[in-house]
Amino acid sequence: MAFTAELAADSAMLVAILTGCASAGLLPLFCRSIHGYIVRRHVPASMHLGTSLIDCYAKANRLDYASRVFARVPSRCVMHWTAMICGMTMHLQSEEAIRLFEEMRRRGVRPNAMTFTAVLRACGHAGLVEQGREFFKLMVEKYDIEPSIHHYGCMVDIFAKAGQLEGAYDVIKTMRLEPNLIIWTSLLVACKRFKNFDIAVEGIEKVLEMEISDENLGLYMLMSDLYAMGGRWDDVVKVRRLMEEHIVRKSRGLSPIKAGELRALTVPATT
């Protein structure tokens, strides 16, 4: 499918189209078609347009094309570098992402908060705990970037995936922001995987204080499994009842089919 237009599309319009294609999953065909239009019409390569093209190709599973676009950008700014690092991280090419991050710094380009989120995720994928620590420290001390919930979440994930649950819990206890449901879930998943009930108890208590949405109903089963792992059967029953009550409340406003789907989640998991 070719991208055509009666009126010439400017850089801002093409950025919007590329962003729309990426979010709608209309890739990779549209991405290449739009790229061809840019080349044929000699559309000026603005910072946003180059960044969007790199991001679009990465999401289209064409990291090779993303790399070509990146290599041909005449004056790369932090957004170009970050888009490429994000793309590599997305495709689990952690070593390449970290290498590119270091090259960016050598060339004097100052990383931003998004760059650090990407490189910390790369460390998490690769199990690079110490390097993740160093990058987090670098972000705060050298670049004076205030850690966001995403950065803290990445650090919890780095420790959790490596089985260093004490380290993950220390991050949560010392972070300057209120831990969200995603961060606690990451810790609980690791506790189940590495069979650490002591730390899990702390996390379960925090999660039970939060609002659990329909999309996160599996959390009840996770907490139930963790209580079962610790031999706390009364708490297993308590969590199952909380889940059933949640489903009953939500089911009142749902169709019979949707209500049935929710109730199916109460089937005990095999442990």
First-residue to last-residue Cα distance in the chain: 49
DSSP one-letter string for 139-158: HHHTS-PPP-HHHHHHHHHH
Q: Which two tokens stand for residue 70?
A: 């990146």
Spell out the long-range contacts of 40-47 with Cβ–Cβ below 8 A and sequence spacing 24 or more.
41/8, 41/9, 43/9, 43/10, 43/11, 43/14, 44/11, 45/11, 45/73, 45/74, 46/11, 46/12, 46/15, 47/77, 47/79, 47/80
pLDDT in tens, the chain (271 residues): 444 444 455 667 776 777 766 555 556 667 777 766 766 766 666 678 789 889 888 988 889 999 999 998 888 999 999 999 999 999 999 999 999 999 999 999 999 999 999 999 999 999 999 999 999 999 999 999 999 999 999 999 999 999 999 999 999 999 999 999 999 999 999 999 999 999 999 999 999 999 888 888 889 999 999 999 999 999 999 999 998 888 766 655 555 555 455 455 544 444 4
DSSP one-letter string for 189-230: HHHHHHT-HHHHHHHHHHHHTSPPPGGGTHHHHHHHHHHHHT
**Whole-number pLDDT of residue 28:** 61
